[in-house]
Structure 1
């Protein structure tokens, strides 16, 4: 299946050239001419890479990038910048852009940068897939499934389950879980872990023949299969 690239560029002549060149290279494309339109297309469709101009009407490119990164930390974003936008280039990279090209650019250079970003992204996608028996987590798409059943998790629940699935069969102490998921500077109630463990059990284990999320009393937590049927 062809990889899909969203072009967010207000200069229609440049957007058209990019669209034609990318289609000639075998990519599927979408085009948006404002920051607001770019965000709408980003949210409503699946893309493999975004070409993002910085000087956009309605919403500046850096604000578009910030909103993209707030919901998707993985999708490659290549900035299209002017020569005198050094501060914006730096800000864009700090906000999570993968690369940039300066206008006017050679199309061959842009295509090479796109290919490099897509190769890296595809490698990251493959390494971001985690499995434990029937449980599957995709770190890139944030999909969680058990036996093909899609499980909806909050960001904190996702982070907690991800930490468990990256360390299967290992008993993780309260301190380890708290530091990894809530951070070293967390000073709230440590019982919060027990609360979220219950949330995860309800969503992941309820109704299944075996449970995965176990509490080791007085020690911590472990992702380990426990056969409920064997106890009957």
Structure 2
């Protein structure tokens, strides 16, 4: 099971990551703020997100709302010291599947993860996608061409994943900006165009048909033979 842990308390985050990996045998990525949690959740295939309610840049409830607004189908658990019934209702109404009050025992968290694993959540995206001479692995966050690794920035990685989920469809600049940066971020469509160009340069071969097509005045379309 792949887990994303978003917790700004360094001591607690380190402990939870260690115990989940040691006792549960899970793979755990750990981030310390809400914006990173949103980026990681959108850019990688996780079975469960563990989101601290109160963390910098974006709280766990807002991360949850944003993901559910994107039709994110994987399990989300809120971790928080807020323990009133109204707080629990608020968190669950935001789209969380479970709610665990701090302080908690690791064994209880492991038990809840086992329950979530048995539920029928939306199918995970395939960990590995092959197109043309390329292999894109979501788990390792790697792209390779004929076995040779191509270095991608985090934004390029997210952009390629977004394109691969929408092969043949036109993606507007607005939809790309929202998916990669968030509409509330202080970036422009120029950032989108620059990131697309950098990714295109890494994918295209001279003289070959480009994978990313510009749709004038609208956005981009990704096309490549499997």
Q: TM-score range by the shorter chain?
A: 0.5 to 0.7
Distance 1:52 1:17, change over 3 A: same
Report how far residue 86 of structure 1 moved.
3.9
User: Which residue matches 2:32?
Assistant: 33
Report how far residue 88 of structure 1 moved.
2.9
- Total equivalences in the alignment: 134
**CA displacement, residues 179-222 of structure 1 (integer Å, 9 cap, x when unaligned):** xxxxxxxxxxxxxxxxxxxxxxxxxxxxxxxxxxxxxxxxxxxx
1:60 partnered with 2:63: no
1:22 partnered with 2:20: yes
CA distance in 2, matches of 1:50, 1:112: 15
Distance 1:6 1:87, change over 3 A: same
Report how far residue 71 of structure 1 moved.
1.4
Distance 1:11 1:71, change over 3 A: same
Unaligned 5+ runs, structure 2:
125-163, 172-226
CA distance in 1, matches of 2:99, 2:170: 34
**CA displacement, residues 13-69 of structure 1 (integer Å, 9 cap, x when unaligned):** 111111111111111111111111111111221111100110111112111110111
Report how far residue 72 of structure 1 moved.
3.1
**CA displacement, residues 137-177 of structure 1 (integer Å, 9 cap, x when unaligned):** xxxxxxx99xxx956499xxxxxxxxxxxxxxxxxxxxxxx
Give the aligned CA root-mean-square deviation in angstroms: 2.9
Report how far residue 87 of structure 1 moved.
3.0
User: Which residue matches 2:73?
Assistant: 74
Query: Which SS does the other structure have where 1:121 is aligned?
Result: coil
Unaligned 5+ runs, structure 1:
127-143, 155-232
Distance 1:150 1:27, change over 3 A: same
